[in-house]
Amino acid sequence: MEPAFPDAADLLPLSFFDRDPRDVAPDLLGCRLISHKGGVPTGGIIVEAEAYLGSDDPGSHAATRGMTPRNAVMYGPPGHAYVYFTYGNHFMLNFVCESEGTAGGALIRALQPVWGIATMTQRRSGRPLTELASGPGKLTAALGVDLGDNARPLNTRDLCVYGADAPVDSVGVSGRVGLMHGYEREYRFFVKDNPFVSRGRTGPLRPKQRNEGSPK
């Protein structure tokens, strides 16, 4: 059955995020993320996260061109959700870190489903448990997170983060996934021996060669 629901007293204070993302990301492992979309609590344990810095990080949105309307949230106060649309179909969920005025965030890449599994399974078209949230786009779909959650504080009923119930067994570190620049930096943290961690890269990373004739 489902483990006990986290107590409100376990909510992470927003100050938890007011520091370097490289410290926040590993600390998020084992923490519990829960959403209340449609009145149904869904969520689980964070098992994979990546750190993104500000202007000094080539893999960050903030590095490309400073602040833009899209990534402005990353410069805002810590402890807020930074949700952004990509791939035309998928969302990415980040937690804003660092003090207001400094860009920084932790990207949540994988979740171990715990609460509302039935609902999440429906949202994921009946996929097996291990694939409900084993990826950034998958996990937002499972939780029902969308652009409406952008800039939302992480201590509200709709979306909140609780501290770790128990320390994680073993934390692994590796290079980040899916980046064309800055991927060599080892800012990716995950729980070792956990089947819910995303596989990282599978297919070729850069198709690059598109439109080979194929007139239409």
Partner DNA sequence: GATTGGATCTACT
Partner DNA sequence: GTAGATCCAATCG
Which residues of the shown chain bind DNA in the complex (CB under 7 A)? Answer: 59, 64-65, 68-71, 85-90, 124-125, 127, 131, 134-138, 141, 177-180, 198, 202-205, 207, 210
Query: At its nearest, how many Å lie between DNA and the CB of residue 90?
Result: 5
Closest of 8, 7, 25 to residue 16, by C-alpha: 25
Q: Residue 12 or residue 145: which is nearer to DNA going by CB?
A: 145
Q: Residue 137 or residue 163: which is nearer to DNA going by CB?
A: 137
H helix or E strand, kind and range, residue 43: strand 42-52
Q: What are phi and psi of 91, to 5 degrees?
A: -115, 155
Contact assessment for residue 95 and residue 45, using Cβ atoms and an 8 Å cutoff: no
Looking at residue 15, its amino acid is S
Query: At its nearest, how many Å lie between DNA and the CB of residue 195?
Result: 13
Q: Residue 39 or residue 203: which is nearer to DNA going by CB?
A: 203
Q: Residue 6 or residue 113: which is nearer to DNA going by CB?
A: 113
Q: Residue 83 or residue 114: which is nearer to DNA going by CB?
A: 83
Q: Residue 16 or residue 185: which is nearer to DNA going by CB?
A: 185
Contact assessment for residue 210 and residue 122, using Cβ atoms and an 8 Å cutoff: no
Contact assessment for residue 97 and residue 78, using Cβ atoms and an 8 Å cutoff: yes
Token couple for 50:
């990546």
Query: At its nearest, how many Å lie between DNA and the CB of residue 97?
Result: 19
Q: How far apart are CA 82 and CA 173, in angstroms?
A: 23
H helix or E strand, kind and range, residue 171: strand 171-174
SS3 of residue 9 by DSSP? helix
| Helix runs in the chain, H state only | 21-28, 61-65, 72-75, 117-123, 136-143
Query: At its nearest, how many Å lie between DNA and the CB of residue 121?
Result: 12
Query: At its nearest, how many Å lie between DNA and the CB of residue 34?
Result: 19
Query: At its nearest, how many Å lie between DNA and the CB of residue 9?
Result: 32
